[in-house]
Structure 1
Amino acid sequence: MTQPPVIEVNGLMRSYGGGRTLLGREKPVIHAINDVSFQIAEGETLGLVGESGSGKSTTGRAVLHLERPDAGSVRFRGTELSTLGQQGLKPYRKHMQMIFQDPYSALNPRMKVGRFVGEPLVVHGVDSGSSLQDRVAELFKLVGLDPSFMSRYPHEFSGGQRQRINIARAIALQPGFIVADEPITALDVSIQAQIVNLFQDLQDQLGLAYLFIAHDLSMVRYLCQWVAVMLRGRIVEMAPTEQIFADPRHPYTRSLLAAIPVPDPDRVRPDRPPFDVAANVPPREAPLIEVAPDHFVLDHQVQ
């Protein structure tokens, strides 16, 4: 990465369970994320990919401290966040935002969308009165919506429009970093490309850094400069996007890439044996090693 990082994550860990039941039996400990490290510079996007349950969403929430990590370091523009309490984190909340997977669930069905988008500006004391309405109208235009829609309710919009509203709220406070947690998964395929293009346009205009969590590797290749592959709570491979697609080193990465649909009936995909996730749990202590410039792979499974 050529620029100073907006967000730096080192050794992040989060687990659930543990302790004992009322009958004295031990509860299993689930290591949702284990020793996760990465950094994202201004204007760059890191795509976080992996199967469901691999720890992608937990990583996003832990980075934003929506869930407190058990261990590790998160720095925003050089400031350590992990040592701050709720009051100490509040000034940084407006600089780090999240966009959720389901655009309808993220909206308040009883609140007009104009008020919904403007709410962060009121909470942080940035705008009020007529200037607030003007700012919300600007945000609607920025995400491709007519400002006259500000007086409508969420049920009056399509899925793509609802996600645009959520994006408008996320950028209202001019953040430097956004976690986009599978923001196109719940949308029609015809709308997904429009939302991805909107993300790219906003990044070009505002210099945003994204952590883009996704399943669709074709969209990740289009939008992201870097890709990190997660398996059972660990990053098993991380590299520049084109390097991941051209020279995947971890067998799980190769399995994911081999599963991408090929829109050509005359083209035969290479026949690869399926990757057995249950039989290949990444060891907790194995480090990432650099196998090529900026290309890191979990050392015991480099091929």
Structure 2
Amino acid sequence: MAEPLLEVRNLIRTYGGNRSLLGGARPVLHAVNDISFHVAAGETLGLVGESGSGKSTAGRVTLQLEPADGGSVRFAGQEITGLSPRQLKPVRRQMQMIFQDPYAALNPRMRVGSFVAEPLVVHGEDAHKDRIADLFRIVGLDPAFMTRYPHEFSGGQRQRICIARAIALKPSFIVADEPITALDVSIQAQIVNLFQDLQDQLGLAYLFIAHDLSMVRYLCQRVAVMLRGRIVETASVEQIFSNPQHPYTRSLLDAIPVPDPDRPRRKRLAFDVASNIPPREAVMAEIAPGHFVLQP
């Protein structure tokens, strides 16, 4: 079996734990608590869960935008946890991120053409306007827009600009952190189609972080379900949607609105994230072994 492009093992990221200004101890928050997953070249892995489950933190730590407190991140066979910014620079050419809020990601004082060209300048590559114009065409924008400022664009256009910047260095892996959440529904479909087109053209692999399961079903090959900093189930898209094994996964699927009053719905589970998480023994007794990953 070929080595995956990205391999994350037992990744941990915590916050707090230090003394407050008044001398009291701050509680420790395990935002990412011993998670493991992998992404193959050209694959899209969906990372799903409710707000606060640790999805975005997992994406940032995977790219080493935040340091890991434990565990391992290997990219293309190279261990990247603990590397200095100078050592990470060559790796960053191959690993990029697209953020949830495109306007916050853009520099309001910078023309968007310069914004897209910035990664090329940082890495010492040719940032000629013809190359930037090609990037604009690839993401479906008129190159004449290069001289405009971010406030002159719609939300969907801003996200396309951020995507153009992310692919400028021809990376092999992109973390897309809820890239369609801030967009209108009609624009969401266009951006998801753009992700697919870029994957076909450039051979990209994605870690697609989302809570919209319908988009995950359309775009991803595998899904990892995250709850309270842990990955509780990992399976193919077909398995997740046809035969979910973990009660929390079933609860997420039951929350999907169905625009058909006559269509039968799966029985909703009484699963309270805050106080009614089943113990490991109960879950393991209910589920056939080997169908999902439940971390202790």
Interval of TM-score (by shorter of Structure 1 and Structure 2): over 0.9
Residue in 1 that maps onto 2:153: 157
Give the 3-state SS of the residue equivalent to 2:165 in structure 1.
helix
CA–CA distance in 2 between the matches of 1:225 and 1:107?
A: 30
Give the 3-state SS of the residue equivalent to 1:117 in structure 2.
helix
CA–CA distance in 1 between the matches of 2:101 and 2:162?
A: 10
Q: Say if 2:62 is the partner of 1:63.
A: yes
Q: Say if 2:211 is the partner of 1:215.
A: yes
Give the 3-state SS of the residue equivalent to 1:73 in structure 2.
strand
Alignment of 1:257-272 (within 5 A): 257-272=253-268
- Contact kept in structure 2, 1:48 and 1:212, CA below 8 Å: yes
TM-score normalised to structure 2 length: 0.94
Give the 3-state SS of the residue equivalent to 2:104 in structure 1.
coil
Residue in 1 that maps onto 2:89: 90
Which residue, 269, 277, 280 being the options, matches 1:273?
269
TM-score normalised to structure 1 length: 0.91
CA–CA distance in 2 between the matches of 1:258 and 1:273?
A: 8
Post-superposition offset of 1:24:
3.4
Post-superposition offset of 1:203:
0.4
C-alpha change, 1:266 and 1:282, in structure 2 (3 Å) is closer
C-alpha change, 1:299 and 1:149, in structure 2 (3 Å) is closer
- Contact kept in structure 2, 1:4 and 1:42, CA below 8 Å: no
Range 268-277 or range 218-227, more displaced: 268-277
1:216 maps to a residue whose letter is D
Give the 3-state SS of the residue equivalent to 1:39 in structure 2.
strand
2:270 maps to a residue whose letter is P
**Cα-to-partner distance string for 1:9-58 (whole Å, 9 max, x where unaligned):** 00000001113234432211010011111110111000000000000000
Which residue, 122, 132, 135 being the options, matches 1:136?
132
Residue in 2 that maps onto 1:181: 177
Give the 3-state SS of the residue equivalent to 2:68 in structure 1.
coil
Range 82-91 or range 209-218, more displaced: 82-91
**Cα-to-partner distance string for 1:223-254 (whole Å, 9 max, x where unaligned):** 00010000000000000111111111100000
- Contact kept in structure 1, 2:230 and 2:295, CA below 8 Å: no
Give the 3-state SS of the residue equivalent to 2:293 in structure 1.
strand
Range 23-32 or range 173-182, more displaced: 23-32
- Contact kept in structure 2, 1:3 and 1:42, CA below 8 Å: no
Post-superposition offset of 1:142:
0.5
**Cα-to-partner distance string for 1:81-108 (whole Å, 9 max, x where unaligned):** 0131111111111110000001111111
2:81 maps to a residue whose letter is S
Count of aligned pairs between the two proteins:
291
C-alpha change, 1:263 and 1:152, in structure 2 (3 Å) is same
CA RMSD of aligned residues (A): 1.9
Residue in 1 that maps onto 2:197: 201
1:48 maps to a residue whose letter is L
Indicate the percent of aligned positions where both proteins have the same amino acid: 73
Residue in 2 that maps onto 1:72: 71
2:41 maps to a residue whose letter is E
Residue in 2 that maps onto 1:107: 106
Post-superposition offset of 1:265:
2.0
2:99 maps to a residue whose letter is F
- Contact kept in structure 1, 2:67 and 2:82, CA below 8 Å: no
CA–CA distance in 2 between the matches of 1:123 and 1:155?
A: 25
Post-superposition offset of 1:6:
1.1
Post-superposition offset of 1:282:
8.3
CA–CA distance in 1 between the matches of 2:84 and 2:194?
A: 34
Q: Which runs of 5+ in 1 are unaligned?
A: none
User: Displaced runs of 4+ in structure 1, greater than 6 A?
Assistant: none
Residue in 1 that maps onto 2:221: 225
Q: Which runs of 5+ in 2 are unaligned?
A: none
- Contact kept in structure 2, 1:225 and 1:241, CA below 8 Å: yes
Residue in 2 that maps onto 1:34: 33
Range 270-279 or range 55-64, more displaced: 270-279
